[in-house]
Amino acid sequence: MITIKNEAQIEGMRKAGKLLYEVLSTVRKAVVPGISTMELNDLAEKLIRDGGATPSFLGYEGYPASLCTSIDEVVVHGIPSEDTILQEGSLISMDCGLCLNGWQADSALTVGVGRISDRDRELIETTEACFFAGARQAVAGKRLGDIGSAVESLAHEHGFSVVRDLSGHGIGRDMHEDPYVYNFGFAGCGLPMRKGMTIAIEPMVCMGDWHVETDEEDGWCVRTRDGLKASHYEHTIAIFEDRLPEILTLPGFVWKEEE
Ligand code: MF3
Ligand code: CO
Gap from CA of 172 to ligand 1 centroid (Å): 14
Confidence (pLDDT) at 257 = 87
Residue 253 lies in a domain: no
- CA-nearest residue for atom 12, ligand 1, is 57
- Ligand 1 atom closest to 175 (CA): 9
Q: Which ligand is nearest to the CA of 93?
A: 1
Residue 2 lies in a domain: no
Please indicate, yes or no, whether the overall pTM of this predicted structure exceeds 0.75: yes
Confidence (pLDDT) at 30 = 98
- Ligand 1 atom closest to 56 (CA): 12
Gap from CA of 4 to ligand 1 centroid (Å): 22
Cα 167–Cα 169–Cα 175 angle in degrees, nearest 5: 125
Cα 177–Cα 178–Cα 183 angle in degrees, nearest 5: 105
Residue 147 lies in a domain: yes
Confidence (pLDDT) at 259 = 61
Separation between Cα atoms, residue 108 and residue 95, nearest integer Å: 4
Residue at 21: amino acid letter: Y
Confidence (pLDDT) at 79 = 98
Domain extent at residue 33: 7-247
Digit-by-digit pLDDT tens for the chain (259 residues) are 999 999 999 999 999 999 999 999 999 999 999 999 999 999 999 999 999 999 999 999 999 999 999 999 999 999 999 999 999 999 999 999 999 999 999 999 999 999 999 999 999 999 999 999 999 999 999 999 999 999 999 999 999 999 999 999 999 999 999 999 999 999 999 999 999 999 999 999 999 999 999 999 999 999 999 999 999 999 999 999 999 999 999 999 999 988 6
Residue 1 lies in a domain: no
Residue 221 lies in a domain: yes
Cβ–ligand 1 distance for 106 under 6 Å, the answer yes
Contacts of 15 (CB under 8 A, 6+ apart): 100, 101, 103
Confidence (pLDDT) at 258 = 80
Cβ–ligand 1 distance for 48 under 6 Å, the answer no
Q: How many domains does the chain have?
A: 1
Long-range contacts of 249-254 (CB under 8 A, 24+ apart): 249/17, 249/18, 249/20, 249/21, 249/24, 249/105, 249/106, 249/107, 250/17, 250/21, 251/14, 251/17, 251/18, 251/21
- CA-nearest residue for atom 2, ligand 1, is 95
Cβ–ligand 1 distance for 180 under 6 Å, the answer no
Residue 258 lies in a domain: no
Confidence (pLDDT) at 232 = 99
Alpha-carbon torsion (163, 148, 3, 95), positive or negative: positive
What CATH number is associated with residue 161? 3.90.230.10
Residue 252 lies in a domain: no
Residue 257 lies in a domain: no
Gap from CA of 169 to ligand 2 centroid (Å): 6
